[in-house]
Chains A and B, each alone.
Chain A
Amino acid sequence: MKLLFVIHGTDNKIIETAYKKKQKICRQMDCIAESCVYGEKEELENLSLELLGGRIYTLPVKTCVVEAISKSLHKLIREIQYTAVVVADGDRAGELAALLARLMNVKCITAVTELTKENGGVRCKKMIYNNLLCAGFRLPPEFVISERLAVLSLRNERPEPLDHIVLEPCRNPHYILEDTLFEERRPQVISPVLIAAGMGIKRREDIMKIREYAKHHGFSFGVSRPVAMRGWADISEIIGVSGGIYAPKVTIAIGISGAAAFMAGIEQSDYILAVNTDPSAMIAKQSDAIIADEYQNVLQPLFENLEKFTYPRHHDLSCR
C-alpha cells in the first residue's frame, strides 16, 4: 500500500497533530505514509515541517477551493502511484476526500475514527446518528478517507528525516473573481483546563459568567454549536467539527449533550468531567466522570477547587 496523508497546513499545531495521526495510521496500517501539505505560500514557509518528517510535498494554493486542490493532488497521486489517501480533518476534508475518490475511482468514507488493516483490505469505523452508533466498514486496499482520529497518546519516536519537495502552485480557478481576508484567526487561549458550555445552560448571563470565570483564570473557553447559533457566544468559540479542537488535561463540559460534532473537539482531553442533569445523556459514556445535578449547584464548588490546583494563568497563545 502506498499511502498519502493530505493536510491543510495552517500552523505548527496542525503539523504536530498531523504527526501523531500519521504515526497512528502507519502503525495500524503497517505501512509508510508520505504527506502532502497544502496551504498559502506564506503559511507553508513558516511551518516546521521537520515536526512531521518523512517525504513531504507542499502544495501552495492561493485560495482553498476543493475542486482545484483535488486536481493538483490527483496529479501527484497518479505520478507517484499512491493507492490510498487519508485526508486530515478540517473544514473541507470530507468534500476533498469525496472528490479525490471520484477522480481515483475508489471507495470513500468520511470522518473515520478508527482504521486497521484486515485481510488484505481495511476496516474502518465512524460515529453516526450523533455519536449514538458506531458504523463499521470494509474497504479494499485502494481507498480515500477523511479522518477524525483521536490521538490521546504519542509514542516517543522521532520523526523521520525530512525530504521536502515543493509542487507547482495550485492556480486560483477563474470563477473566484475576488478573494480577500475578512477576519484573521483569533488566537485561542490554550490552557490545561477547558471549560465548555452547552445548551443545558439556560441563561445567556450564565454563559457570560462562565466565560468571564474562564478568562480570569486563564482557562480555555468554548461552546457547543447551538449556543453560538443562538447568539450567546461568538462563532469562533465553537468547539468541535468546524470549530476548535482541543487537547487539554481537563475538560469541564457543562450542559453538553455529547453530540458527535462537539465531542470531536474535546475527545483528546486527558480527563472529561460532565455536568448534566441527565445521567444517561450521550456525554456520560464519553466522560471520565459525570455529576448529574443542576449546574447552578455545582459550578461554584467546582471552580473553587479548580483554583486550588491550577496556577492563576496559563497562556499559550496559539491558533487551531
Chain B
Amino acid sequence: MRLLVSFKICPDLELLREEDIILTEEMGIDTHFLPNIINCYDESALELALRLRDKTKEFPIEISAFTAGNEQAELTLKSLRALGFAHTVRAEDEKGYTVFSSETVAETLAAYIKEYPQDCILLGKEAPNGNNGIMAGLVSEKIKHPLIGPILDIIFIDRESVTVLVSDEGRIRKQIVSLPCVLCVGNAVISKLRVATLRERMKVSKTESEYISLAYPDHEYIAAPKEVNPMIAKRAGYQSQKDGSEAVRDILRNGLQKVLEQI
C-alpha cells in the first residue's frame, strides 16, 4: 500500500516583528532571516502517516513525502527519510513561485501521483502564507479521488478502505471511506512530528530526494493579488504604560469600564 503526504515549509511568522516587515516584489514578505518550520497542519499529517504505518501490521505501507520549494527543504526531507519515508520528492522551485500558487503545486503533485499512484494522499488544511485552505480540494479534483476532511485522526486502514474521524462544524463523525482517497488534515489529535535519532539519520546520510519540475495548470481559477499592504490597525490599540494592577486600573479608566458597565 502507498501513502503520500504533501507538506509545505513555511517561515516561522510568529517570530516576525512589525518593524522587520519588508515587502517583496512578489507581493510577499522578506522572510529569509526567519527559521523555517513545517506548516502545522502538514506536520500533523506527516506524523499521522508514520503512526498509521507503525500500527498496521497486516501489510506493509510505503510512505512518501512531497513538497514544492527550494533547497531549504532538504534538511526536512532528510529528516523524513530518517524517520522512514521511503521516498521524498521535491518539486524544484528556487524562485519561490509556489509560495502563493496552490494550483501549480496541486498540478505538480497530481502529475506525480498519476505517474506513481497512491492509495491515500494526506495534506494539511491550510498554510499561513496564503490562508487559502484549498490545496486538498484542488488535488482531489485533479486526480479524481474523493476528498475527506477535515480529519482529526486516522484510526485504521486496510487494503480497501480507511477509517477516519472527521470534524463537522463542532461534531465528530466516524467515516469508513473506500480507497483511493485524499485526506485533508485539520486539528488532528496528533500535532507534533517525532524526531529522528542520530542512528536513523546516519542510516540515510548518503540518500537523496527525488527532484521533479513544476507542472503548470492550463488555467488558474484562484485569483492572484493585485496589491499587498501592511495590516492597518483595526482598533484603538491603547497601550497602558503601567504594570500590574496599575495597568488594569489604567485600562479600566480608558475604555474597559464603560464596556463592562453595559453587561
User: Is B173 a contact partner of A181 (Cβ separation < 8 A)?
Assistant: yes
Q: Is A182 in contact with B128, judged by CB distance below 8 angstroms?
A: no
Q: Is B141 part of the binding interface, using a Cβ–Cβ cutoff of 8 Å? A: yes
**A interface residues, tally (CB under 8 Å):** 106
The chain A residue with its CB closest to the CB of B259 is: A271
> Please, how many residues of chain B have a CB less than 8 angstroms from a CB on the other chain?
91
Interface residues of A in 299-320 (CB under 8 A from B): 300-302, 305-306, 309-311, 314, 319-320
Does chain A have a CB within 8 A of B143?
A: no
Name the A residues within 8 Å of B244 (CB-CB).
293, 297-298, 301
Residue contact A273 to B251, C-beta cutoff 8 Å:
yes
Question: Most chain-A CB neighbours within 10 Å: which of B29, B178, B192, B244?
Answer: B244
Q: Establish whether residues A289 and B254, one from each chain, have CB atoms under 8 Å apart when the complex forms.
A: yes
Contact A102 B141 (CB under 8 A): yes
- Quick one: closest B residue to A230, CB to CB? B191
Known contacts A95-B147, A319-B170; A177 and B161 CB within 8 A of each other: yes
B interface majority secondary structure? mixed
**Contact of B225 with A by CB under 8 A:** yes
In the complex where A98-B137, A182-B174 touch, is A136 in contact with B226 (Cβ < 8 A)?
yes
**CB within 8 Å for A180 and B174 given contacts A134-B232, A136-B225, A289-B237:** yes
Cβ 8 A contact of A259, one of B23, B128, B161? B128
Query: Using a CB-CB cutoff of 8 Å, which residues 45-73 of chain A contact chain B?
Result: 63-67
A91, B237: Cβ atoms under 8 Å?
no
Complex formed: what's the CA distance from A174 to B223 in Å?
33
Asked whether B255 is an interface residue with its Cβ less than 8 Å from the other chain, the reply is yes
Which positions 61-113 of chain A face chain B at CB distance < 8 Å?
Answer: 63-67, 90-99, 101-102, 105-111
Interchain CA distance A300-B245 in the complex, whole Å: 8
Query: Given A91-B186, A136-B229, A260-B131, is A288 in contact with B255 using a C-beta cutoff of 8 Å?
Result: yes
CB proximity of A149 to chain B, nearest CB, Å: 13
Q: Is the CB of A136 within 8 A of B177?
A: no
- CB proximity of A298 to chain B, nearest CB, Å: 6
For A128, the chain B residues whose CB sits under 8 A away are 129-131, 225, 228
Whether the pair A285, B233 counts as a contact (CB closer than 8 A) is: yes
Among A192, A226, A301, chain B packs the most CB atoms within 10 A around the CB of: A301
Q: Find out whether the CB atom of A182 lies under 8 angstroms from the CB atom of B172.
A: yes
- Given known A-B contacts A91-B150, A91-B167, A130 and B222 have beta carbons under 8 A apart: no
A11→B140 CA distance, assembly (Å):
29
Complex CA–CA separation, A271 to B146 (angstroms)? 43
The answer, yes or no, to whether B70 is at the interface (CB within 8 Å) is: no
Q: Does A151 contact B (CB under 8 A)?
A: no
Residues in A with CB closer than 8 Å to B173 are 63, 179-182
Which of B40, B170, B222, B255 is within 8 Å of A109, CB to CB?
B222
Q: When the two chains form their complex, are residues A107 and B221 in contact, meaning their CB atoms are under 8 A apart?
A: yes
Cβ-based interface call for A2 (8 A)? no
Encode A236-255 as 1/0 by CB contact (under 8 A) with B: 10100111000001100000
Residues of chain B lying within 8 A (CB to CB) of residue A168 = none
Which residues from A are CB-within-8-Å of B19?
A: 280
Report A-chain residues with C-beta under 8 Å of the C-beta of B126. Answer: 94, 241
Q: Is B256's beta carbon under 8 Å from chain A?
A: yes
Q: Which of A156-164, A183-191, A208-216 contacts B (4 or more CB under 8 A)?
A: A183-191
In the complex, the answer to whether A133 meets B240 with C-beta atoms within 8 Å is no
A132:B256 contact, CB within 8 angstroms: no
Distance from A93 Cβ to chain B, minimum over Cβ atoms (Å): 8
- Complex contact A126–B187 (CB within 8 A): no
Docked complex: A240-298 residues within 8 A CB-CB of B: 241-243, 249-250, 257, 259-261, 267, 270-273, 279-280, 282, 284-293, 297-298
Give A279 to B222 CA distance when docked, in angstroms: 36
Q: Are A285 and B167 in contact (CB under 8 A)?
A: no
Contacts A129-B28, A279-B239 supplied; 14 other A-B pairs, CB < 8 Å: A92-B150, A99-B137, A106-B221, A134-B230, A135-B228, A176-B177, A179-B174, A284-B239, A285-B235, A288-B237, A289-B254, A305-B252, A310-B263, A314-B263
Q: 9 closest pairs, A vs B, by CB?
A: A94-B133, A95-B137, A229-B191, A309-B260, A301-B245, A185-B170, A135-B225, A285-B233, A183-B172
